[in-house]
Structure 1
Amino acid sequence: MELNEKLLYHQIHPLKLCVDFSTGLYTTYLAWHHNLSWFLILFLIPSILITILLIKFADLESLKNSAFGKYVKKYMSKTTQGIRLAGQILMWTAAWFHLTVLIGTGFVVIIGGWLFGLFIERKNKRKLR
């Protein structure tokens, strides 16, 4: 498997999803409390470490061949990844300024980034009718 494929499919590995979800929530909590040092540590280290380990050691072929893998190959573009990142940045910024509604909005943007392909499929199915 090429590096660009590994970089794509490692995103849906259960360990990567768990690390990103948990650190995303916890770093939002740390931003709320203005704990910048721990925020930076937990924002950077776990995600980078799990990415390196998965790319180096994990067998990502089964993920590539799964339904989720096919979905990610089709819809997880750099733009879609940017949308997910923008949602997380919105959550962190909103937490820093204690804007709870915008924290929720950021979370919805992240989920929307993951589900983007489903919206496209629905739109395409409507056009075919």
Structure 2
Amino acid sequence: MPSRLLDQGRRPKSDGIWSGRLCRQVLIQDGDMRLCDRVLVHQVHPVKVSADVTASLVSNLLLWCSRPKAAAVVRVAMPVAGSVAVLSLADLGALARTRRGRWVRAHMPPSAQAVRLVGDAVMAVGARRRSPALLVVGALVIVAGWSHPWWPYVREVR
């Protein structure tokens, strides 16, 4: 039944409400994942995390040494290469069923991803200006982006 719903382009219902989380669970149980889910889950793959951390460290070092062109190439090329490798070669369905995969699907909305990106930009500015304080602030902003489940929740008043 779930695969038939997905083949028709409809999303399964949960208590009368269209549920993206239920749709993700059904897709993963069927062994097929949408591209948006693959992109989300690949963020916690060890190869992707290693590529991101290495790119940040190397590009920050290059920025500190006043080599902005090389830093920009490293900061963009390494994460893109890591993403391409993971998205094309890794078994993301298996990763999605792990604790990390379930966590990232539940707790990594676009706002948290944007916070992580802003933190990386702050770190780059800190490295370019040779400011250890900005590097630390950027790292703390990245940690805040990963800590989305502990952000204050604001309920909508009807």
Tell me the TM-score normalized by structure 2: 0.72
Gaps of 5+ in 2: 1-32, 154-158
The aligned runs of 1:43-62 (5 Å cut-off) are 43-62=75-94
Task: Give the whole-Å Cα distance in 1 for the aligned partners of 2:74 and 2:133.
Answer: 24
Aligned to 2:14: none
Alignment match of 2:63 (pick from 26, 31, 34): 31
Deviates more, 1:3-12 or 1:56-65: 56-65
Match of 2:138 among 98, 101, 106: 106
Alpha-carbon distance between aligned partners in 2 of 1:69 and 1:60, rounded to the nearest angstrom = 9
Q: Distance in 1 between matches of 2:52 and 2:97?
A: 22
Q: Distance in 2 between matches of 1:96 and 1:57?
A: 35
- In 2, Cα distance between the equivalents of 1:29 and 1:57? 30
Consecutive unaligned residues in structure 1, runs of 5 or more? 125-129
Relative contact order (alpha carbons < 8 A, sep ≥ 6): 1 or 2 greater?
A: 1
**Aligned residue identity for 2:148:** F
Q: Which has the larger radius of gyration?
A: 2
Of the three residues 101, 104, 108, the one matched with 1:69 is 101
Q: How far apart are the structure 2 equivalents of 1:98 and 1:53? A: 33
Give, as a single letter, the amino acid of the residue that structure 2 aligns with 1:79. Answer: S
Give the C-alpha shift of residue 34 in structure 1: 1.6
Structure 2 distance, partners of 1:11, 1:105, is 22
Aligned length: 121
Q: Which residue of 2 aligns with 1:88?
A: 120
Deviation at 1:74, TM superposition (A): 1.2
Q: What is the CA–CA distance in structure 1 between the aligned matches of 2:101 and 2:41, rounded to whole Å? A: 7
Residue 87 (structure 1) shift: 0.4
Which residue is 1:2 aligned to? 34
More helix by share: 1
Deviations 1:25-79 (A, max 9, x none): 1111111112012112211111111111211121011211111111111111111
Percent identity between the two aligned chains: 26
Moved >6 Å (runs of 4+) = none
